[in-house]
Amino acid sequence: MPIEERHRADIVEIGRRLHDRGFIASNDGNISVRLDADRLLTTPTGVSKGFMTPDMMVTTDLTGRKLTGDREPSSEILMHLAVYEHRPEIKAVVHAHPPTATGFAVAGIPLDRAVLAEVVTTLGSIPIADYGTPSTSELADAVRQYIRAHDGLLLANHGALTVAHELFAAYYKMETVEHFARISLVARQLGGERLLSREEVNRLQDLRGRYGIAAPAPFCPPDRPEGKEGEDVSCQALEAPWQPGARLVEAQTVGSGGAAPRDVRLGLLGPDDGIRLTYRELTALIADAVKQLR
């Protein structure tokens, strides 16, 4: 099968999977792939990506100008172009609105805690690109700031974006983002994640190198934020506390931005369950209570 035909068929299949999994509703989402040095193949605008046929796709040049196709290219083509411009090795981009990950994007909570080893080694952290009006260059600019250092992004009050060296890899990263978001949500409802320690994260970073797992950027050193205001992000900020000798560590910023896990945990327990708090948890509880009294 010629390569373009293969890509058209793969985009149809990925659209169907995004729709079946509830990652998109109505005409949401878009998918694109590089055909060669000068051309992209992209989903058309204004159709459900769950019910496309190969002939619906549109080819464009690297400025987004339509070359062939009966329909118009994706309205988010600028966001895709920003990725291809800044990541020459990237061949495919998937954008969708998976509900749990998008919930984090709407709540302003990035998926940047070191929780699952396979997510740390593959995607690393998943930050939130600033809000930009969909289909405008604002959104493309917001993506541009993070895309050099990340293969998966949340888009504030919008959705998620994943990129890879080929179409299905980009789609699977979207699955991972949503799966990770669901696990994070459940863990927070159950009282909050325990985090991988910084030592363990360093070990995982070494594994990236040993197994040749392509990561766009290293993790940021704990004492250095991801970048200065207005500058493009060049490393992956990951919450992983230092605790020598430990692999798992209690989160230090409990419930930042979300439901307070400690309150949830107390709420789930009856009066006879014998709540046991560590000294640190107890002092934090008292501090919270004092703050609320003020």
Residues that are catalytic: 76
Tokens linked to 180: 């990770």
Tokens 């709420």: give the residue.
267
- Distances 220 to 86, 110, 161, 232, 236 between C-alpha atoms, Å: 20, 15, 21, 13, 5
> Is 159 among the residues that bind Zn ion (CB under 5 A)?
yes
Q: How many residues bind Zn ion (CB under 5 A)?
A: 1
Residue with tokens 């809000």: 131
Instruction: Report in angstroms how near the CB of residue 247 gets to Zn ion at its nearest.
Output: 38
Contact between 132 and Zn ion by CB under 5 A: the answer reads no
- In terms of CB distance, is 50 or 159 closer to Zn ion? 159
Supply φ then ψ for residue 110, to 5 degrees.
-70, 160
Q: Write down the least CB distance from residue 169 to Zn ion, Å.
A: 20
Residue whose C-alpha is closest to residue 80's, from 55, 60, 110, 50: 60
Q: Which stretch binds Zn ion (CB under 5 A): 99-107, 156-164, 173-181, 257-265?
A: 156-164
Integer Cα distance of 176 and 170 in angstroms: 10
- Region near Zn ion per CB under 5 A, out of 36-44, 155-163, 221-229, 254-262: 155-163
**Nearest C-alpha neighbor of 267 from the set 194, 192, 190, 193:** 190
119 CB contacts (<8 Å, ≥6 apart)? 176, 180
Q: What is the DSSP code (8-state) at residue 239?
A: B
Q: How many CB atoms lie within 10 A of CB 110?
A: 20
Does 152 bind Zn ion (CB under 5 A)? Our answer is no
* Minimum distance from residue 79 beta carbon to Zn ion (Å): 9
Contact yes or no for 161/153 (Cβ under 8 A): yes
In the complex, the smallest distance separating the C-beta of residue 24 from Zn ion, rounded to whole angstroms, is 8
Q: Is 98 in the site for Zn ion (CB under 5 A)?
A: no
Q: Which residue is nearest to Zn ion (CB)?
A: 159
Q: How far is the CB of 16 from Zn ion (least distance, A)?
A: 18
Q: Would you say 132 or 159 has its CB closer to Zn ion?
A: 159
Interface stretch with Zn ion, choices 41-49, 98-106, 159-167, 233-241 (CB under 5 A): 159-167
Applying CB under 5 A, the span of 33-41, 154-162, 200-208, 233-241 interacting with Zn ion comes to 154-162
The smaller minimum CB distance to Zn ion, of residues 110 and 159, is found at 159
Binding residues vs Zn ion (CB under 5 A): 159
